[in-house]
Amino acid sequence: MAIKQAKVITVTSAKGGTGKSTTTLSLAGILSNKKLKTILVDMDLHSGVISALLNLKPKKDIYTLVNDYMNHGLKEIDEYITKYNDYIDVLAAPKDPRSVGKISTYYIDLILKKLKYQYDVILIDTNHIIDDINLITFDNSNSIIYVITSDLMDLKNMKTMISIYKDMNLKNYYVILNEALSRNHLNLYEINSFLDRNIDYILPSSSYVKNMSKIIMDGKIITLEKGSQKDKTTLVLTELLDKILN
């Protein structure tokens, strides 16, 4: 019988400032509500914010994990992981961005493959830079989620990525338009026409969560808050996750 492996979902963007990390946390909350054992891997190695957004203070991070793996061999990965709740664990980005250059993609690949046997879902937050770390992350991913806005530079960058995926004949990605952070008054038809591809899902600007600023400051996940299940953004992200998981 085949051993069950985790679904690997990577959340990325075509530029910064699209709401990628908060979207990642919202997805984690939905997975927690589904009682799926999830690890949040902060692969935005230069400026990861997952731990800060959750008010966590990890003692160890990806750099210490890779460094120990290289020098001593890895025994228990659990001691590098910080628990958020019963279903969400966090593997934090390096505290010191100067250590990023010492992180080998070889060990990132080994770590992700090891985590696949310990969790139901590996949820990775990463940046928009196309480097070796992101490429090995994408290679390990079952699904890649791009969170974009209607910003013209964002759309141009996303169009380039769509062209690359088309050339590689890869279709394991989704494009989400975050209307809450979109400033240009382009309609959906104009955006789809420019990208030469339809947007898969829309996070509506009309979504409302009471006391959102306080929730974020308290290190809470919006989709775990009471009553959030009926929020439009939660419903959209739940639909996306159901499609990916099934």
Looking at 77-150, which runs of residues are DSSP E strands? 82-83, 88-91, 121-125, 143-148
Q: What is the rounded CA–CA span in Å between residue 24 and residue 22?
A: 5
Annotated domain spans of the chain: 7-245
Are the C-beta atoms of 195 and 155 separated by less than 8 Å? yes
Q: Which residues contact 239 (CB under 8 A, 6 or more apart)?
A: 201
pLDDT of the residue at 1 = 41
Residue 198: what residue type?
N
User: In sequence order, which ranges of the chain are alpha helices (DSSP H)?
Assistant: 20-33, 50-53, 62-72, 105-115, 132-139, 152-167, 188-195, 212-217, 232-245
Residues in the chain with pLDDT values less than 50: 1
Instruction: State the pLDDT at residue 230.
Output: 85
- Give the Cα separation of 116 and 114 in Å (integer): 5
pTM exceeds 0.85: yes
Per-residue confidence (pLDDT) for residue 210, from 0 to 100: 64
Q: Give strand pairing partners of 83.
A: 89
Cα end-to-end span (Å), the chain: 20
Q: In what order do the strands lie in the sheet with 143-148?
A: 82-83, 88-91, 38-42, 121-125, 7-12, 143-148, 173-178, 201-203
Handedness of CA 16, 22, 25, 30 (dihedral sign): negative
pLDDT at res. 35: 97
Q: How far apart are CA 93 and CA 41, in angstroms?
A: 8
What fold does the segment set 7-245 form as a domain? Rossmann fold (3.40.50)
